[in-house]
Structure 1
Amino acid sequence: MRLVNWNIERNDPASPKAASLIAEIGALSPDIICLTEAWEGSLEAFGGYVLAAQGVAWSRQATGERKVVLWSPHPWADIDPMEQAAAFGGSVSACTQIGGRNVRIVGICIPYHMASPLGQVPKARVWEQHERFLEVLMPYLHRWRQDGPVIVMGDFNRRMPRTYGSLRSYEMLEQAFEGYEIATRGKLPGIEAQTVDHVAVVGAVRVTGVAGRSAVSPQGLVRSDHFGVVVDFELRG
């Protein structure tokens, strides 16, 4: 089984950049997709079932933009909008069938260090929104890890292990994901670089492969300021 996680840099579905990325994602035949900084209609060509979270605007954005978009070929159930976390960034969670098993999928877009809600005066302090998001995310993650297979993915806006930025906020990130395996920790094969777009798993999920996908198309088009992440996995038991 396979998932794809990609921040598509707000490129609308009609743009050549988004079209190229979506075509590449489709060719990977994923079972689950998470897009961040995407659009409501980014994955409509796939059919299946889409779940999207608008999230907080940190700059002017179009009506159709969404911080998180999740896709599954099977219906979503037990949907949790994660309203407390969504007040600071982008987040949504639900359960879907993967390989005949019920798995909780969590899509998140953690605020970057300079994030501040559009129009807020005075602006939020550096790392403030990032840390507030993690504070409210933590109880969700700690509760769900007791319930069965969970996959968390999206834009964490931090490299793991830490390479820069607030030590305090990084320690909060590690604490939030206590008990989870960060499949994307370290340099990713295929890219040989660290990512800020992560996949974390717990329970019966066993990661069998991880790879990065270039943001540059074979034709030389730079499609995003993030490279993609592909994780292969199986469900034990």
Structure 2
Amino acid sequence: MDARQITVAAWNAEWATGSSPRGIRVAARLRDVAADLMVVTEGSRDLLPPGGHAIDAGTDWGYASPPHRRKTMLWSRWPLTEVAPIGEGAGKGRVVVAETESSIGRIRVLAVCIPWASAHVSTGRRDASNWSEHLECCDQIQQLASGFDPRVPTVVAGDLNQRVPRGRQPIRVAQRLADVRGPWQLHTAGEIEHGPLIDHIASDLACSAVQAWPGHDDDGRLSDHAGVVARLHSGDIQSDLAPSGEIRDTKG
């Protein structure tokens, strides 16, 4: 392990369990990534690598679910402190923040699984409209981040449920995510092998490499998402936003 950088991974496991044939292969892939920090969404704790330190965002995100399932989990090579999940609204069970003393110094990790477009519209509580839960969660993340100490670098990882640049999502939704991630460089945007991604990694650290893996292996399906890993280190970065932060309409 290079002490001058950290390796961060993010993957949505599509509710695999470590005891199932598919889950055994998902867990093996997560071990092989050899990440220092890992956010696994829609999974269970038995998928996480042995050793290390793990937290989750809670067991209630508004849907009836088996007790072993977690919407958002954070695994770290180092102990996690200052653990704070969002405890209400759209971010409940989906967003948790913690700090750790990493090999490059103290960092903050914001682990997220932002609701998809139709969350709680026709399933779950059935009290939402398209994108309303997603936008509320973005509001909560921005409010949470407004209290972050800027002296501590932040890493954001998990399922953002948006492609960047914008795909089919409304411009206002893409712009809202751009506003939220404004302080952080989105390292996983644009043309990436096995992309375009909706599992992302962002930070106010420098990124030296990004690599994705597909949602399948030689034995078949692993997940409906591609996973991604980034290598981060201290240093200057350049924003991937236009100076105004504007999201341009790529649909014509």
Does the pair score TM above 0.5? yes
Distance (Å, rounded) in 2 between the aligned partners of 1:95 and 1:194: 29
Distance (Å, rounded) in 2 between the aligned partners of 1:82 and 1:88: 5
1:222 is matched with 221
> Residues 70-109 of structure 1: matches in 2 within 5 Å?
70-84=74-88, 87-88=91-92, 90-109=94-113
The AA in structure 1 aligned to 2:230 is: V
Distance (Å, rounded) in 2 between the aligned partners of 1:41 and 1:137: 27
How far is 1:235 from its partner? 2.6
How far is 1:85 from its partner? 5.8
- Give deviations 1:3-33, integer Å, cap 9, x for gaps: 1110000111111222112212212221111
CA contact (8 A) 1:127 1:166 kept: no
With 160-169 and 80-89 compared, the bigger mean Cα shift is at 80-89
2:36 is matched with 31
The equivalent position to 1:151 in structure 2, one of 131, 134, 155, is 155
- Does structure 1 residue 198 correspond to structure 2 residue 200? yes
CA RMSD of aligned residues (A): 2.0
Stretches of structure 1 lacking an aligned partner (at least 5 in a row)? none
Query: What SS does the corresponding residue of 1:83 show, helix, strand or coil?
Result: coil
Distance (Å, rounded) in 2 between the aligned partners of 1:138 and 1:85: 14
> Residues 137-176 of structure 1: matches in 2 within 5 Å?
137-144=141-148, 146-176=150-180
Runs of 4+ in 1 over 3 A off after TM superposition: 55-60, 84-89
1:68 is matched with 72
Stretches of structure 2 lacking an aligned partner (at least 5 in a row)? 1-5, 237-252
> Residues 181-192 of structure 1: matches in 2 within 5 Å?
181-188=185-192, 190-191=193-194
1:20 is matched with 25
Distance (Å, rounded) in 2 between the aligned partners of 1:96 and 1:168: 34
> Residues 20-59 of structure 1: matches in 2 within 5 Å?
20-43=25-48, 45-54=49-58, 56-57=60-61, 59=63
Query: What SS does the corresponding residue of 1:144 show, helix, strand or coil?
Result: coil
1:235 is matched with 234
Against the structure 1 CA distance between its residues 88 and 28, is the aligned structure 2 distance closer, same or farther, given a 3 Å change threshold? Answer: closer
The AA in structure 2 aligned to 1:94 is: A
Q: Give the % identical residues.
A: 24
Against the structure 1 CA distance between its residues 87 and 206, is the aligned structure 2 distance closer, same or farther, given a 3 Å change threshold? Answer: closer
